[in-house]
Amino acid sequence: CVKAGVPKQQATALQQALQSLIQEAAVLGLKEDESTGLEALIVLNYDHGNLSEVQQYSFRAAEQGRTASPATTMYMLAHTGCCLAEIGRDTIRAESLLLEAQSISDRLGIPVIDIPFGLGCVRRFQGHIDEARSLLRQGWHMAQMAQDHWRECLCLTNLVMLELETGNPTTALNDGNELIHVSAQMGGGSEAPRAAALDAVTRYMLQEKNAADSLARSLQVLRQIDSPRMLAYIQTIAAQWDLAQGNLQQAVARAEDARSAAQLIDNPSAIALAGSAIVQAKYQSGNL
């Protein structure tokens, strides 16, 4: 249910059910099932933007995974490292967990999607663009082969964001089309609205006709589904584009909206990027 996409109104009940099942599995000594439950809890909180809970459950999952079989340990270390890397929290530990999972994967001869995907997120965070792009594409192709639509969406989302950040909106548009196709196969989660928002801001950068109206509609949808993390990202990218076009007043308005959204989820990178856009716009307008 979690990986298929769960509407926000159902998330609380599902989280409570998962917590009960995890406790029951622990009492019965079912390590594998306990680990699977923790993975689902991480995914559920990730999908609904609860980054502190993602971090908390990820640490717990990493420790729990070490008491299970080598294969389960590998999967849990990879998933934990991947989640921490994707949300930009404790990337040093994320990289360490992913490399540990990689060594077990090499020993067992079992490939794991979360390892290249997670390391791709780490490299993106570190600014190693070519390596990040290569790893993210590797993760996406593995997810395609496994027909794991949830992970396909994650890999493609990060690829689109990487291309937008590095000034390649045409490439971002191609990857974004793939993302829209895959997200349409998901259930009631937030993947499709996020994909639409990334597509809208890409077309805004490409200066397509009516792109500004599409972007405004997508931003409204992100507010309705309560997706502050993606809202902050989209508004920051759009603000940076406005800044480059000399539309300073709009750049400030977008960046201030982005900063407010980023502060809601305590996302340091997003807060810093939004603040940077505000400073640049104020400086260019002579408001020292």
80-107: pLDDT as tens digits? 899 889 888 789 989 999 999 999 999 9
pTM: 0.85
pLDDT (tens digit per residue) in 164-216: 999 999 999 999 999 999 999 876 668 899 999 999 999 999 999 999 999 99
DSSP labels, 16-38: HHHHHHHHHHHHTT-HHHHHHHH
Residues 40/2, Cβ–Cβ less than 8 Å? yes
Contacts (Cβ under 8 Å, ≥6 apart) of 49 = 226, 227, 228, 229, 265
* Per-residue model confidence (pLDDT) at position 188: 65
Give pLDDT < 70 ranges for the chain. Answer: 49, 65-68, 187-189
The confidence score (pLDDT) of residue 119 equals 98
Q: Tell me, what's the pLDDT at 3? A: 74
* Ramachandran quadrant class, 9 (left: phi over 0; alpha: psi -120 to 50; beta: rest): alpha
